[in-house]
A and B are shown apart, each in its own frame.
Chain A
Amino acid sequence: MNRRRRRRLAAFKTIVFVVLGLFFLLPIAAMVEFATRGVGIDSPRTLSAFTSITSDPELTDAITASLELAVITSVAMLALLLPTMIWARLRLPRMVRPIEMVCLTPLTIPAIVLVVGFAPIYRWIEINVSDSILMLAFAYLILVLPYSYRALDAGLAAVDVRTLSEAARSLGAGWGTVVWRVIVPNMSSAVFNACLLCVAVVLGEFTVANLLNFENLQVAIAILGTGNASVSIALAVLSLLFVFVLLFALSFLGRSRSRGRGALRVVR
């Protein structure tokens, strides 16, 4: 009875893993296949689609813009969110829940809905501030809030913020020193996680940029797709690989670090 059950479970698992493995691998393999196709029917495999990415100025502009946005959004996220979260924990405990709620709302409002509200704001920004694509960082900061909040929250939960900051303050440290030189080094993996998530979200963002008429990486891929499919798929493969590596690193790194090493390195 038990052996039969175990054998049936093993068979079930094998089928599930093989079928789903194929389902998930095929599209990615097909992309690589498509991007390396030659021009003619029987022409050999070629990497020309990959090499021609760099020769298209419109494309390189979009890639640069997306990378810049990723950096700006990460830095702005840390500058805005981290001090707020630490301050709320120390001095305004009753604001911790409301702040969490605010940070998680973008999960429940679809990006396509937010864009409708962003449109008039961005028209104003375009006229009064700048029409640079980097202005997208304002919107992206909202989009990354839920992910960053969760990552930072997990990090802060593992650190005794109160003890650390009391210790630092009694030694004469200002609030800036407390945040950036005492607490942050103690939750570096959480900060790192939050930044990685930021980068992944920003590099994959299409909705807001497309509807506000900015050409970031994903929009460029989509536009190119209608004309030169193999180059756009080659770029898609690369951007996908990049984000995959980021997120994969995150899911392994984040776990092993936050568990193993103690939270209170300084105090101990």
Chain B
Amino acid sequence: MTAVATTDSGYAERPLGGRFRFPTHWLGVAPFLVYAAAFLLLPTVIVAVGAFSGSHGPSLANLAQLGQPYIVTAFVNSLVLSAVSASIGAAVGAMLAYAVASGSPSGVLRRIVTALCGVLSQFGGVTLAFAFIATIGTEGFIVVWLRQHGIAFYPNGVWLYGLAGLTLIYTYFQIPLMVIVFMPALDGIRPQWREATDTLGGATWQYWRHVAGPLLRPAFLGCWLLLFANAFSAYATAAALLDIGGIIVPLQISRALSSEVGLNQANLAAALALGMVVIVAVITVLYSWLQRRSERWLP
């Protein structure tokens, strides 16, 4: 043990340059890097290569297939679903965050709401879809209860199993997520700014319009993008709610993957996945840009 310690300990003998040594200290991180290469890098490469290959070598046919009407519709649906659920989630979540942040920073209410939001923002997938089926499905709690009182919950047909239903369900995890990511920005708002506005004779709306609004805007937009990406990549909820058809891109991917047609469909899945990655990448770049802007004022 001691022998190892004297020859191999990093601090005692870090070479001052010149003499070549086999870089044994790299072995410490090698397993992790190998693993990441095999199960993170390789899948990504498979997607990228698959998107550009046909059954007989390289081809652009898969990407061309993205122009088909049903796939364009899926992309549009995905974007609309993400944008609407992110907007509702961001607006409502910001209100809830403000209601919490305007209270005592170390109060019980705040701790409970933050903890609950942490839990609920992770609540997605199959369970969430079933929760809404149990609530406003055709035999759901609210629907049955209203029916007993002579009121029809769905006078114009059931909209739960479609884009509208998905949007509603997504807000369930978008709102708590917004609370978590937006709270730090609200905490950065100093009460002195409000007092300064008051001293200068500003009204409440002027404070929001000219002081707090512009300060919070980059953070708010950044959070909106985060919510957008969150909704855009969600799959499980939609899959549990509508197992057939492919109204959004993730469902199209699962359709292409699970179909028995073979190689071509796998490559179509890769092309669809690449399309998603491109959109998420654009969002990520915008997000980091906004993040830098909001950090100028808010810590």
Contacts and interface: CB of A to CB of B under 8 A. Distances in A.
A147 B97 CA distance: 23
Contacts of A210: 236, 239, 254
B146 interface: no
A173 B139 CA distance: 64
Given A83-B28, A138-B39, A252-B115, A110 B5 contact: no
Given A16-B99, A110-B233, A117 B45 contact: yes
A108 interface: yes
B54 to A, nearest CB: 16
A142 interface: yes
A48 B229 CA distance: 40
Interface stretch (B128-136, B151-159, B216-224, B289-297): B128-136
B102 interface: yes
A29 B239 contact: no
Contacts, number: 225
B81 interface: no
Contact of A112 (B125, B135, B229, B276): B276
Q: Which size bracket describes the interface of A in this complex?
A: 35 or more
B72 interface: no
Nearest to A115: B257
Interface string B122-147: 11111110111111000111100000
B162 to A, nearest CB: 18
A35 B130 CA distance: 11
Interface stretch (A53-61, A86-94, A260-268): A86-94
Contacts of A108: 229, 280-281, 284
Q: Which size bracket describes the interface of B in this complex?
A: 35 or more
B198 to A, nearest CB: 9
B132 A27 contact: yes
B99 A12 contact: yes
Q: Which of B28, B95, B96 has the most CB of A within 10 A?
A: B28
Contact of B46 (A13, A30, A117, A243): A117
Given A87-B29, A95-B29, A102 B36 contact: yes
Contacts of A23: 172
B126 A110 contact: no
A169 B3 CA distance: 11
Contacts of A116: 43, 46-47, 50, 253, 257, 266, 269-270, 272-273
Contact of A91 (B5, B10, B92): B10
A109 interface: yes
Interface in A238-268: 239-240, 243-244, 247-248, 251-252
A227 B131 CA distance: 16
A174 B4 contact: yes
A244 B132 CA distance: 18
A31 B257 contact: no
A236 B239 CA distance: 15
B29 A117 contact: no
Contacts of B2: 172
B80 interface: no
B99 A236 contact: no
Contacts of B107: none
A121 B42 contact: yes
A234 B54 CA distance: 45
A252 B232 contact: no
Contacts of A30: 131, 134-135, 140-142
B118 interface: yes
Nearest to B253: A112
Contact of A251 (B36, B102, B114, B273): B114
Contact of A34 (B141, B239, B276): B141
Given A108-B280, A118-B43, A211 B254 contact: yes
Contact of A141 (B39, B123, B126, B277): B39
B1 A248 contact: no
Contacts of A105: 40
A129 interface: no
Contacts of B233: 110-113
Contacts of B92: 20
Contacts of A206: 125-126, 235-236, 239-240
B175 interface: yes
A88 B29 contact: yes
B235 A207 contact: yes
B127 A110 contact: no
A31 B5 CA distance: 59
Top 9 closest pairs, chain A to chain B, by CB: A117-B43, A110-B233, A87-B28, A30-B141, A34-B134, A27-B131, A30-B135, A206-B236, A84-B32
Interface of B: 1-2, 4-5, 9-11, 25-26, 28-29, 31-33, 35-36, 38-40, 42-47, 50, 92, 95-96, 99, 102-103, 111, 114-116, 118-120, 122-128, 130-135, 139-142, 172, 175-176, 204, 229, 232-233, 235-236, 239-240, 243, 250, 253-254, 257-258, 266, 269-270, 272-273, 276-277, 280-281, 284
18 contacts: A24-B176, A27-B172, A30-B135, A80-B35, A102-B36, A105-B40, A108-B284, A111-B235, A114-B44, A115-B257, A116-B272, A117-B273, A121-B42, A142-B36, A142-B39, A222-B240, A225-B130, A251-B114
